[in-house]
Chain A
Amino acid sequence: MTQSPFRSRLIALLFLSPLILLTALFFYWPVAEAIRWSFFLEQPFGGGSTFVGLANFRRVLSDPEFWKSLKLTGIFMVTASVPAVLVPLVLAMAADRGLRTSRIARNVLVWPKGVAGASIGVIFGFIFNPFVGILTPLNQLWPGIWSPGTDGVDAFITLIVANLWNGIPFNFVILLAGLQALPDTYSKAAALDGAGPWRQALDIRLPLLAPQLFFVLVLEFTESIINAFGLIDTMTRGGPGGATTLLVYKIYADGFKGYDLSGASTQTVLLMILVLLIAAAQFLLMERRVKYER
């Protein structure tokens, strides 16, 4: 560590205090509460709680609904994250090569970042509406083939597409920045070694982009678990028949509709553990492979 620029630690703390306060108030305190509640039986409208030990965990873990939503969460994590990384990767590589219209694309592709998850959900709710949306012609040809209101798979697809649209800007920016940070002498050397554009992309640029790819993949995995809430709440409300009730939505439904505060808290704790495990596993399995020194 270098010498602190502040004469007193108090001054440094003073500058940090707004952020510390916000993080404590909106993250650490709720987390602490959730962990505490997961060991208590809470009254829905306040007024007394009883310590029950691990009874909440036993109840949640023996509930088939919990396992179903956990499975759905896992499926969504993979099917939503992979395209949300691959599509921006292809776009970023195209933009980096300076292909036609890439200047415009570079701007346009960033705009969705300014749209909140709930707004995206509302918009895609319209777009995928079976009666007025863009897929309506399909239903005229084959009645009932597109019906996210009644078909669980269709509902799931709308979520994946909306999540992809939501994920493009950030991942695109990170991957494009990574590509543009690569010195162009690598491409020149590869060109002289006889590699055409495709081989250069696959053999040189893609491996050198591994750190950024790893970064967006880790973020996308955790984001898809947690940030899907806004999309689900506005588009499918967990339906049809629980087909899109991911764990994050189940927690909300159990807690605020079913008034099962203890059960919701317990699932929150389990969800946090899951996210931690996934991120840790990604780091353990992949981090050493993606690192290289220039």
Chain B
Amino acid sequence: MTLTLERPVTAAARTGTDIHIEGLEKTYAGAQASVIPNLTAHLRAGEFTVILGPSGCGKSTLLNMLAGLEAVGAGRIRFGAREVQALAPRDRGCAMVFQNYALYPHMTVARNMDYSLRIAKVPRAEREARVAEVARMLELSALLDRRPSQLSGGQRQRVAIGRAIIREPQVLLFDEPLSNLDARLRNETRMELAQLHRRIGATSVFVTHDQVEAMTLADRVMILNKGRIEQFAPPSDIYAAPASTFVAGFLGSPPMNLLAVESRNGRMALPDGSTIGCRRDGMFQLGIRPEHIRLGTGAEMRVQFREELGSHSVIALTTSDGGRLRVTAPPGGVGDALRVSFPQDALHLFDAETGLAVRELLIRT
């Protein structure tokens, strides 16, 4: 599928709206802990936000509350100047793409897409024009009379997207829409979604547990853990400076190495044999990404095992205190041991107690 349309979905396409989430809280009846204890965030107009987190972190609950499919426990949600947390879904002006597409099985593709327009009593001529335009954009024109059961997974996905964008929503919500597609199709659809977002300009909120989707699609990624925001920043910032050990361990493939280190008298001994100055004494978690570790110099470590990935290989090493260190290396065989050293500017430091980044404590020379 290629998107060849030069102008927005329709001439009247609106841009998105700011989403303000203030003190949002949600506890399910009978549950002891809150799914979302207290969440405040501002999603900018037209921004593509990816909510990323492990299962059970509250990301789907948050999305459903934005859509109006779940009641808000406490707090406010504003779309622009409008408070929407008490409104029914149909009065909020959002559209949603569901994980299993949720296409109406008894309606044709065209009917699936224009159902919302029929409810809104849009005149027939305009309905048909909009269906034709969205269908052309998503390359569904030949399939308009088919039923969902006659479509492939990728086609169903596109119908679901078409159904969502045909109303030109101010807020576009995605609930893990790519997880039912196979790997190749997921890659394609991901890129198309990014282009589509730029064209439509709606404020998009995309829930996923796939970090590649988050990194590639997002203007900003909101990383949720137990209903709390661990970090809300552009993907490159999250990669370059994770705010906590949770983020560090969650993002990146393979994830960042986290090693227990201790600082005494202002110096910290590192597993690669070097030392670095530290402004505070105590226990810390040292972070370093596998791809940032330099090979060939420094401390020698035993090779535990090696995963060959074609473009590169991932090697697990045993540190002197028995911990595991992953490094990425050019493809090809290695011996029983490797020399590794940590470039100072690639080091991350986290408080051992809170897990929060304390990068500024390092004195790099």
**A and B interact physically:** yes
Q: Say whether A288 faces chain B, with CB atoms less than 8 Å apart.
A: no
In the bound complex, how far is the Cα of B103 from the Cα of A192, in angstroms? 12
Contact code string B8-45 (vs A, CB < 8 Å = 1, else 0): 00000000000000000000000000000000000000
In the bound complex, how far is the Cα of B105 from the Cα of A145, in angstroms? 51
CB contacts (< 8 Å) of B163 on chain A: these are 189, 193
Return the contact of A194 from the options B69, B103, B120 (Cβ within 8 A): B120
Given A189-B96, A192-B67, A194-B120, residue A292 in contact with residue B149 (CB < 8 A): yes
CB contacts (< 8 Å) of A195 on chain B: these are 90, 115, 119
Q: Say whether A199 faces chain B, with CB atoms less than 8 Å apart.
A: yes
| A293, B149: Cβ atoms closer than 8 Å | yes
Give the distance to chain A from B12, nearest Cβ to Cβ, in Å: 18
Q: Which A1-28 residues have C-beta < 8 A from chain B?
A: none
Q: Say whether B53 faces chain A, with CB atoms less than 8 Å apart.
A: no
Return the contact of A192 from the options B95, B100, B147, B149 (Cβ within 8 A): B95
| B102, A196: Cβ atoms closer than 8 Å | no
| A191, B98: Cβ atoms closer than 8 Å | no
Q: Say whether A143 faces chain B, with CB atoms less than 8 Å apart.
A: no
Q: Say whether A294 faces chain B, with CB atoms less than 8 Å apart.
A: yes
Given A292-B147, A293-B147, residue A192 in contact with residue B104 (CB < 8 A): no
| B96, A192: Cβ atoms closer than 8 Å | yes
In the bound complex, how far is the Cα of B93 from the Cα of A193, in angstroms? 9
In the bound complex, how far is the Cα of B159 from the Cα of A223, in angstroms? 43
CB contacts (< 8 Å) of B67 on chain A: these are 188, 192
CB contacts (< 8 Å) of A191 on chain B: these are 68-69, 88-90
20 examples of A-B residue contacts, CB within 8 angstroms: A183-B100, A183-B102, A185-B102, A186-B104, A188-B96, A188-B102, A189-B96, A190-B104, A190-B115, A191-B88, A192-B67, A193-B115, A193-B163, A194-B89, A196-B88, A199-B119, A207-B106, A292-B149, A293-B105, A293-B147
CB contacts (< 8 Å) of A189 on chain B: these are 96, 98, 102-104, 163
Q: Which A191-216 residues have C-beta < 8 A from chain B?
A: 191-196, 199, 203-204, 207-208, 210
In the bound complex, how far is the Cα of B100 from the Cα of A199, in angstroms? 22
In the bound complex, how far is the Cα of B90 from the Cα of A207, in angstroms? 21
CB contacts (< 8 Å) of B202 on chain A: these are none
| A203, B147: Cβ atoms closer than 8 Å | no
| A194, B96: Cβ atoms closer than 8 Å | no
B contact residues vs A (CB 8 Å cutoff)? 67-69, 88-90, 94-96, 98, 100, 102-106, 115-116, 119-120, 147, 149, 163
CB contacts (< 8 Å) of A193 on chain B: these are 90, 115-116, 119, 163
Return the contact of B105 from the options A194, A199, A203, A292 (Cβ within 8 A): A292
CB contacts (< 8 Å) of B89 on chain A: these are 188, 191-192, 194
A contact residues vs B (CB 8 Å cutoff)? 183, 185-186, 188-196, 199, 203-204, 207-208, 210, 292-294
CB contacts (< 8 Å) of A207 on chain B: these are 106
In the bound complex, how far is the Cα of B105 from the Cα of A208, in angstroms? 8
Nearest-neighbor residue (CB-CB) of B166 within chain A: A193
| A294, B105: Cβ atoms closer than 8 Å | yes
- Given A188-B67, A188-B69, A210-B106, 20 more A-B residue pairs with CB atoms under 8 Å apart are A183-B102, A185-B100, A186-B104, A188-B89, A189-B103, A189-B163, A191-B68, A191-B88, A192-B96, A193-B116, A193-B163, A194-B89, A194-B90, A194-B116, A195-B90, A195-B119, A208-B104, A208-B106, A292-B105, A292-B149
Give the distance to chain A from B277, nearest Cβ to Cβ, in Å: 55
Give the distance to chain A from B270, nearest Cβ to Cβ, in Å: 51
| B69, A196: Cβ atoms closer than 8 Å | no
Nearest-neighbor residue (CB-CB) of A182 within chain B: B105
Give the distance to chain B from A198, nearest Cβ to Cβ, in Å: 11
Give the distance to chain A from B190, nearest Cβ to Cβ, in Å: 22
Sorted nearest first, the 4 A-B pairs with minimum C-beta distance are A293-B149, A193-B116, A185-B102, A194-B90
Give the distance to chain B from A242, nearest Cβ to Cβ, in Å: 45
Which of A193, A199, A292 counts the most chain B CB atoms within 10 A? A193
